[in-house]
Amino acid sequence: MLGNKSLSFKRVGGAIGYVLFLGIAVLCLLELCFRMYVVDFYGSNLAGLNTSADFSGTSVLVIGDSFSADQRSYVKGLRAKMPDQSIVNAAIPGTCIRQHQLFAKKRLEQFTPDLLIYQVYVGNDLLEYRHPIDSKAISVKRKAYWWLADRFLVLGYLNARMLGFKRVRTKEEDLAREPKSDATYSAESYNQRTKLLLKAESALIQNSVLLQGGRAEDMKAFCADIKDMLDDVPSATKVIVLVIPHCAQTGELYLERMEELGAIPADHAALLAEDYPFFDYLNAELSTSNCSVVNALPWVKNASREELYFYPNDPHMNEVGQQRLADSLFQLLEQQSWVPQ
């Protein structure tokens, strides 16, 4: 009897070991394919944000994250102001330079743009280099996922796909209650990911903006990866690195809300300054005769609490903010004679 039980345990243990080995092997294979970009993993995103007309005679190529990868983003405003130009939106939500490096060369070869707009985000781009897995405020499951995601980029891609499928199945009445709406602000309704990140690293905003708490080292890696990507840009292509601020940098209202959501009280004057370490570092490292680093913070700082450029319950820009960004960016392009001819 005992012998049979022992044999059963061995069989179960062997089966579990086999499944684990198979899972690790599949994950490594997927990661290799993703890193080598053997297929166009983000091809469907490209198709969803553009029409066939946008692909003809491309003048401008946009690469970035969810601030750009939206049908209502500043790219829409630029298209309206530059009707004679073809603008390809190759931005991908939930990504940063670590993913952009993989497909940027392909997009540059596809569209040979006169102007590349590369959008970065102060809020979480550095987080992608080092998630706060040592936090005692988050679950073991979350720590395990973040630890793996820091090493296997394909996990982020798979997770985004799964979220996309989930969204397709979401009922319309549930979508109406999304954080990306003009509903009244409430801590309970605010974007769950933001609250999770602040729970895990309460100083995340000030660490990112001011390059504190070890984020200065993350910035070095971040900037080095951007440089590697820009090495593939043809010399004839003008480059703009567009730096999108965190909403907490734009006014006391948003800063107070972040503190209510879990951000530690910080030096307000330092966080609201238009010249800040995150931008200054990129500007010093990336600016060349062919590459300009553009600070979007002065464009979207709130002069009053009546004119808000970000959603009440989400850190992304609302349509007013996106239009403000489009207007300001177009004005800069014209002033500097950067509009492709």
Question: Residues 6 or more apart from 62 whose CB is under 8 A from it?
Answer: 68, 75, 87, 88, 89, 90, 91, 116, 117, 119
pTM reported for the whole predicted model? 0.92
Mean pLDDT, the chain, rounded, equals 91
Q: What spatial distance separates the first Cα and last Cα of the chain, rounded to whole Å?
A: 84
Q: Does domain 42-335 have CATH number 3.40.50.1110?
A: yes
Closest by Cα among 281, 276, 326 to 300? 326
Distance CA 97, CA 254 (A): 26
Q: Tokens 């049979």 map to which residue?
A: 4
Instruction: Convert the pLDDT of each residue in 36-79 to its tens digit.
Output: 999 999 999 999 999 998 998 779 999 999 999 999 999 999 99
**Nearest residue to 212 (alpha-carbon basis) of 286, 276, 282, 298:** 276
Residues 211 and 309: beta-carbon distance below 8 Å:
no
Each residue of 251-301: pLDDT tens digit?
999 999 999 999 999 899 999 999 999 999 999 999 999 999 999 999 999
Cα 236 from Cα 238, distance rounded (Å): 7
**Which residues on adjacent β-strands are paired with residue 120?**
243
Which has the closest alpha carbon to 120: 43, 215, 225, 232? 225
pLDDT score for 175: 43
Say if residue 325 is exposed, middle or buried (CB neighbours under 10 Å; 0-12, 13-18, 19+): buried
- Estimate the crossing angle of helix 215-230 against helix 277-286, to 10 degrees: 30
